[in-house]
Amino acid sequence: MVWDDHEPSDNYAGMIPDLDSPLETFPARRAAAYHAYYEHMPLRAAARPKGTDLLLYRRFGWGALGEIHMLDTRQYRTDQPCGDKVKPPCAERANPAATILGDAQQKWLFDGLSRSRAQWNVLAQQVIVAEADFDPGPGELHWMDKWDGYPAARERLMAFLEQRRPANPVVLSGDNHNNWVFDLKRDFSGLESARACHRICRHVDHLERGRR
């Protein structure tokens, strides 16, 4: 169980609300929303919010089989580029300092994945990680509220998965109210680009050969 945007404001980013809330009153609105979330959800006492902050990213172990890394891609992100929504790429989208996890959470995730000895590593978070181009023609249209609005942050994650190779990484995402399946790659324009699921694919292939 983890939140996304609609608890305080549609498509909010850190302390920046959507158009449904004035910027100057949003801290109070966010604090009230986080407090209501804490009161109505089965969270530990350690998660009690402190004003506008509620530490929600955490880790669950399932013996040697799996480790679930619960992420918060809403509270610590920089603002969405290009005016949010589905837009063509702009220069702001390429900002190398843009983040969807924040520095502290990214370090926590990479440290945890590096130490994990579980057979499967599940990254459970809010929005689609893969690149998705919604322009069927030669142009590009990307959903700026997803990881597509933060390609530098996605590159840091995909580079880590490719280089450190934690066992069987799987990403679970919410938000879209329908079913999508992606291969996660460092370069989505290259068919031969290394996939984050490389160890999953080999493991499944091994099982299939064993069955045959």
pLDDT of residue 198: 40
The DSSP string of 76-93 is SPPPPSTTSSEE---GGG
Mean pLDDT for the stretch of residues 62-67:
95
- What are the domain boundaries of the chain? 1-55, 57-211
**Higher pLDDT pick, 66 / 185:** 66
Q: What is the pLDDT of residues 6-17, one digit of tens each?
A: 999 999 999 999
List the structure tokens of 195.
């996939």
Task: Report whether 120 contacts 168 (CB < 8 A).
Answer: yes
For residues 204 and 39, the model is more confident at: 39
Q: Are the C-beta atoms of residues 79 and 90 closer than 8 Å to each other? A: no
CATH number at 57-211: 3.60.21.70
Dist. CA 97–CA 12, nearest whole Å: 18
pTM, rounded to two decimals: 0.87
* Average pLDDT rounded to a whole number, residues 1-6: 90
> In this structure, are residues 53 and 35 in contact, taking their beta carbons and an 8 Å threshold?
no
According to DSSP, residue 194 is labeled P
Taken as a whole, the chain contains a residue count of 212
pLDDT of 45 over the 60 cut? yes
**Which helix (H) or strand (E) covers residue 49, if one does?**
none
In the chain, the amino acid numbered 145 is D
**Phi, psi of 39, deg, nearest 5:** -70, -25
Percentage of the residues of the chain whose pLDDT score is greater than 90? 78
Write the pLDDT tens digit of every residue in 109-163.
999 999 999 999 999 999 999 999 999 999 999 999 999 999 999 999 999 999 9
At residue 136, φ and ψ (nearest 5 deg) are -70, -10
**Looking at beta carbons, which pairs linking 177-181 to residues 24 or more positions away fall under 8 Å?**
180/128, 180/130
- Read out DSSP for 56-69? --EEEEETBTEEEE
pLDDT recorded at residue 193: 60
* Residue found by looking up tokens 């530490």 in the block: 55
Tokens (6 digits) for 60: 């669950």
